[in-house]
Structure 1
Amino acid sequence: MGNVDLVYPTAPTVECAHRVAIPPSQPFFSSLKSSLKETFFPDDPLRQFKNQPVSRRLVLGLQYFMPILEWAPRYTFDFFKSDLVSGITIASLAIPQGISYAKLANLPPILGLYSSFVPPLVYAMMGSSRDLAVGTVAVASLLMASMLGKEVSAIENPKLYMHLAFTATFFAGVFQAALGFLRLGFIVDFLSHATIVGFMAGAATVVCLQQLKGILGLQHFTTGTDLVSVMRSVFTQTHQWKWESVVLGCCFLFYLLLTRYLSKRRPKFFWISAAAPLTSVILGSLLVYLTHAEKHGVQVIGHLKKGLNPPSLTDLNFSSPYLSIALKTGIITGVIALAEGIAVGRSFAMFKNYHIDGNKEMIAFGMMNIAGSCTSCYLTTGPFSRSAVNYNAGCKTAVSNMVMAMAVMITLLFLTPLFHYTPLVVLSSIIISAMLGLIDYEAALHLWQVDKIDFCVCMGAYLGVVFGSVEIGLVIAVAISILRVLLFVARPRTSVLGNIPNSMIYRNVDQYPDANSIPGILILQIDAPIYFANSGYLRERISRWIDDEEDRLKQSGESSLQYIILDFSAVGSIDTSGISMLEEVKKIVDRRGLKLVLANPGSVVMKKLDRSKFIDLIGQEWIYLTVGEAVGACNFMLHTCKPGATNVDVDAHARENIV
């Protein structure tokens, strides 16, 4: 280290330093297999098949893809009584919501009822959640209307538009099922909690704005979903506002919000809020029928044909002009539907202390949407509002979805003529009341208090949806989230460690101001894996830490810097660029007459350091199990080596005494 005046610090010393072991090397394909298993099979689904006879494996395999085969043999009459009540309850919500959301998607209202019949039956057999209530959702409906509406007008060419909706649903189902079969569920994790909060709030705001058409009784309305377009469309048609529609809409909206408020105050009366939409439809239909309000500007649903879902397999449109938009719409709406459905299912599973398999859910969602696209249904998932009602009604299993489907079937066969006089303004009120619950301002405030960047992600999604479009908001939110991850990787945190008094513990001096620096030793902690994206930054940052420490020592008159200890406790991995960076840091340290020491590198890091011969370069005697041992060894050198000792002398002492 050149001629230096050594001091005798009082920091803790180590009597015996433990060598850091180099893990035994594994064959390449064995290591690759292990990595792929951890990536795609973290839950180890094949464990249950081990040491089982072939017949039992067949049964377990069927139960894995059809969970109904697992719980059906244990089903009891008490369970059925609970599921019957909850199924009828959610049917009373599903029928008006289905009609409303189909209108929101610019599809015939009857498709909303179709979508509440077949998909719930498929999910009841293949889904792993006991509480999820399947049906159409406002956000996916709006997204489908927005994306398909750019290519095909639902008014000018309704048949082609409907066929493209079926095709997009088919692609969404194929994509969802493929994610489940290929164990790629982690893709959905890129939609962070902050992203979903902002996106849902923005979509809910846009949906509410879109309902101004129904509330005001307007015939013509903008196809844009952004705030500016909607406001321009509303205020340029003030002469066409229908006061009858406005009064009716405000009254029903007040009624729906009042029932929700009462149900929240008294949870045991949850059924009041659940039955309110159907009650509104019945009351609105009676009012229009008795007063002939349809002749005075109040728009009604009109004719709904009776009968069950007609087949639509031949309606799927794979022709080249429309294939790309159907595929794009299917993938984007499929991801949104997955994120919402799995998040809702996991939330209620947590309340009841059971586990749902994300990959199973993806397969179930995919298969029910594929089946739905072939039976005149459009995209379905597990909406929060309907699932919350199902949960509060005391459902026990997915049989509640079957009961709901049977209630919808009866409606399709016998009751559809009763909806002829249902005013569209009531459907708009139902949608607005449901959407207001998705604007979670409390969650946004919590994000601001906890993590400002997450709040920016949330607001980016919200503002992007409200002032741009649903797709733009989603892209902005995901882009900010990914940028945050990239910045974390590219600019990892480094910190100086100090010794907590009267201990062998070393912690960040910014977090623990009473931590003591060790004379002659600089301890740096790297808080992230070292990759090509951050290796250059880390090299410069380490050099700056050394410069800052040497300047501080000169100003304070303390002993000169002798050792640089890099704490690798948080470095889970390193690539070749990172190893090259360490070699450059070693050269920089050597030129300054200092010694580089490593502490606590993990098994993956040690393997790569060994293969790259970096351990030979630095010397294994300068790699320690803990920061405490590294500091003790460096102090030992400072105490025992004479002034004028060279690097060779120190290395010799290290080999003799610190093993």
Structure 2
Amino acid sequence: METSAAVESSAAVAAFEVSKRPDTGKLVLNSPSPPSLREELVGVVGKAFRPRASGGAGGRAPPCAWALTALQCVFPVLQWGRSYTLKDFRSDVMAGLTLASLGIPQSIGYANLAKLDPQYGLYTSVVPPLIYAVMGTSREIAIGPVAVVSLLLSSMIQNVVDPAADPATYRSLVFTVTFLAGVFQVSFGLFRLGFLVDFLSHAAIVGFMAGAAIVIGLQQLKGLLGLSHFTNSTDIVSVIKAVCSALHDPWHPGNFLIGCSFLIFILTTRFIGRKYKKLFWLSAISPLISVILSTAAVYATRADKHGVKIIQKVHAGINPSSAKQIHLNGPHTSECAKIAIICAVIALTEAIAVGRSFASVRGYKLDGNKEMLAMGFSNVAGSLSSCYVATGSFSRTAVNFSAGARSTMSNIIMSITVFITLELFMKFLYYTPMAVLASIILSALPGLIDIKEACNIWKVDKMDFVTCLGAFVGVLFGSVEIGLAVAIAISFAKIIIQSLRPQVEVLGRLQGTNIFCSIRQYPVACRTPTVLTIRIDTSFMCFINATFIKERIIEWVREEVEASDGKARERIQAVVLDMSSVVNIDTSGLTALEELHKELVSLGIQMAISSPGWNAVQKMKVSRVVDRIGEDWIFLTVGEAVEACLTEQKGTALEC
């Protein structure tokens, strides 16, 4: 009788302990429904078009204040312009003039790389910087043509139309691609689609830039050697073959002498500028000095009569309209759209990376979505005024920063300077040798090859290095498109492999705490007898990984059961699934949970779930998985789930 009474008393104590435990499982199950897909989409679009209201009860602002806030969101110049001072203007004027001295020769060279006449590079340094100046949020970024985008345009559009055979149609396609690239960029900004830019990982960009730099450098051999015939292919094998075959023809060594001499001069001034920070302006103006000196030398010696290749006639004047040359329903529209999306993503990736790096130095935050809008409208306006795709240039931005730029006013000063050059000085470029343009482009390429970062990627993540190497080799031995495709394919393969085989970890408790962690990562963690605690490390338990997760858990449970055969005290009696990482689940994941529960019940094992994600809880309730498992076996934390299992086992043992 006394024994029976003691058992009943112990059972009552166990029952009291269970009733005393706070029912946090109801917090999990009674949480409000998560936002629907429609609500999330409406919220995203609403944020794009609704500026933040400031002041006023309930967060509502008067219509005039709302309109002013909306205008400031679209045109940040209205915000920073109110505190702009004369001292800032003086700094921006100096920075803008320094920027123009570097930008003018680079723009001419990049136009040549894009297989366009020189003036189109200068046009691209007039209109897009003006638009960006009133819409952009970066104070240092310099807008204009860049080497990588110029290569992208020429390498892909020439597969559709030969620029030498039909230059008018080629220009029309360039303007169409620029317009569509601008539209895509505006769309990215309006609908918060900046994640599309992240499809090109950091490792992919490092490899792509390095490969593109080498390809661009090889392309400049045509101008450096003064070759008349050259391949349109961009892969290293075709370029080397073209150079070898061209060298058998007569060529003038004066081109090579001019190009190498000024390349050495530019690199030397850059070295001096980096060593002595106060002389940064020397490296900035060295390309312009190279153009002036080489042009004067060719004119004085009439070297163009003896084989030195020169620019010849360059059209002067302001940007002519190109609106009629944009064809959105022509035979090549689909090809233009494909090229535009690639150019838009690459241009945004480069610009935002450059802008953020300098913004972090100055201690302010760059608004990525506003940058996309600014870049997009700059390119849309540029496409209507004979410009091709413009973006932020790292070399010119570094010069702008070093020159003391305080705001985007430096872009306006640069644009005005280029405009004056177009109006007054274009006729002086007639005798500019092509070799000096090649040397200017070559001098900008070392900054695109980041060997140190590639080595760092190798040390940190070998799979990321494979992505980097894939992009590099694809661009170098294939084409720009192949390099990008390889990089994206490897990146997605990495994601898919990790999703197919997510981590499933056995957890243990750190002694003296209620903290549960992986026993592989923390060997000091102790497993709880009779309770197997498992964490599912995936944010989405879905059709590609649900079966793997279920089979892995069942395999562990069977191993534990077999290992404890004949040892009742060590036998697994409960399995706790830590689903705190599982944000969402699909029908395959729900089916896997049901099958896992049935398998455990057949083995006489209780299953408990802790801290499932918001969407996962909702779907488990709707599909009635919660009813099958039991509402009492859903918990907020792993610790509560383990304690409940131990208490249940204690109560069952006492009853027996």
TM-score (norm 1): 0.91
Amino acid at match of 2:497: L
Partner of 1:485: 495
Q: Distance in 1 between matches of 2:443 and 2:567?
A: 67
Amino acid at match of 2:620: L
* Structure 1, unaligned runs of 5 or more: 1-12, 646-659
Q: Distance in 2 between matches of 1:192 and 1:389?
A: 26
Report the alpha carbon displacement of residue 552 of structure 1 after superposing the two structures with TM: 4.7
Amino acid at match of 1:36: L
Matches within 5 A, 1:359-508: 359-508=369-518
Amino acid at match of 1:629: E
Partner of 1:56: 65
Report the alpha carbon displacement of residue 215 of structure 1 after superposing the two structures with TM: 1.5
1:47 and 2:52 correspond: yes
Change (3 A) 1:85 1:70: same
Q: Which moved more, 1:418-427 or 1:320-329?
A: 320-329
The answer to whether the Cα contact below 8 Å between 1:139 and 1:204 also exists between their aligned partners in 2 is: yes
Partner of 1:519: 529
Q: Which moved more, 1:315-324 or 1:165-174?
A: 315-324
Q: Distance in 1 between matches of 2:47 and 2:582?
A: 22
Partner of 1:348: 358
Change (3 A) 1:42 1:57: closer
Q: Secondary structure at the match of 1:495?
A: strand
Q: Secondary structure at the match of 2:53?
A: helix
The answer to whether the Cα contact below 8 Å between 2:230 and 2:242 also exists between their aligned partners in 1 is: yes
Amino acid at match of 1:361: E
Per-residue Cα deviation, 1:102-138 (whole angstroms, up to 9, x for no partner): 0000000111111111111111111121111110011
Q: Distance in 2 between matches of 1:597 and 1:341?
A: 49
Q: Secondary structure at the match of 2:445?
A: helix
Matches within 5 A, 1:571-650: 571-642=582-653
Matches within 5 A, 1:165-244: 165-240=174-249, 241-244=251-254
Amino acid at match of 2:643: G
1:296 and 2:306 correspond: yes
Q: Percent identity?
A: 45
Q: Which moved more, 1:96-105 or 1:285-294?
A: 285-294
Partner of 2:11: none
Q: Secondary structure at the match of 1:151?
A: coil
Report the alpha carbon displacement of residue 276 of structure 1 after superposing the two structures with TM: 1.5
Report the alpha carbon displacement of residue 566 of structure 1 after superposing the two structures with TM: 0.7
1:274 and 2:284 correspond: yes
Partner of 2:117: 108
Q: Distance in 1 between matches of 2:48 and 2:330?
A: 40
Q: Which moved more, 1:100-109 or 1:279-288?
A: 279-288
Q: Which moved more, 1:606-615 or 1:116-125?
A: 606-615
Report the alpha carbon displacement of residue 45 of structure 1 after superposing the two structures with TM: 5.5
* Structure 2, unaligned runs of 5 or more: 1-16
Amino acid at match of 1:564: V
Report the alpha carbon displacement of residue 325 of structure 1 after superposing the two structures with TM: 2.3
Q: Distance in 2 between matches of 1:462 and 1:45?
A: 42
Report the alpha carbon displacement of residue 410 of structure 1 after superposing the two structures with TM: 1.0
Q: Distance in 1 between matches of 2:426 and 2:316?
A: 6
Matches within 5 A, 1:50-199: 50-199=59-208
Q: Distance in 1 between matches of 2:197 and 2:43?
A: 17
Per-residue Cα deviation, 1:553-604 (whole angstroms, up to 9, x for no partner): 4699982222211111211122222111110000111122212111222333
Q: Distance in 1 between matches of 2:143 and 2:36?
A: 41
1:19 and 2:24 correspond: yes
The answer to whether the Cα contact below 8 Å between 1:17 and 1:633 also exists between their aligned partners in 2 is: no
Q: Distance in 2 between matches of 1:196 and 1:235?
A: 31
Q: Distance in 1 between matches of 2:533 and 2:45?
A: 38
Q: Which moved more, 1:129-138 or 1:13-22?
A: 13-22
Q: Distance in 1 between matches of 2:49 and 2:642?
A: 42
Partner of 1:654: none
Per-residue Cα deviation, 1:140-172 (whole angstroms, up to 9, x for no partner): 111110111012111111121112111111111
Report the alpha carbon displacement of residue 17 of structure 1 after superposing the two structures with TM: 5.2
Q: Secondary structure at the match of 1:526?
A: strand
Q: Distance in 2 between matches of 1:346 and 1:45?
A: 25
Partner of 2:574: 563
1:35 and 2:40 correspond: yes
RCO higher in structure (CA 8 A, sep ≥6): 1
Q: Distance in 1 between matches of 2:461 and 2:47?
A: 29
Q: Secondary structure at the match of 2:547?
A: helix
TM-score (norm 2): 0.91
Partner of 1:652: none
Report the alpha carbon displacement of residue 25 of structure 1 after superposing the two structures with TM: 6.6
Q: Distance in 2 between matches of 1:206 and 1:552?
A: 61
Q: Distance in 1 between matches of 2:189 and 2:467?
A: 27
Q: Which moved more, 1:540-549 or 1:229-238?
A: 540-549
Change (3 A) 1:498 1:170: same
Q: Secondary structure at the match of 2:485?
A: helix
Amino acid at match of 2:239: V
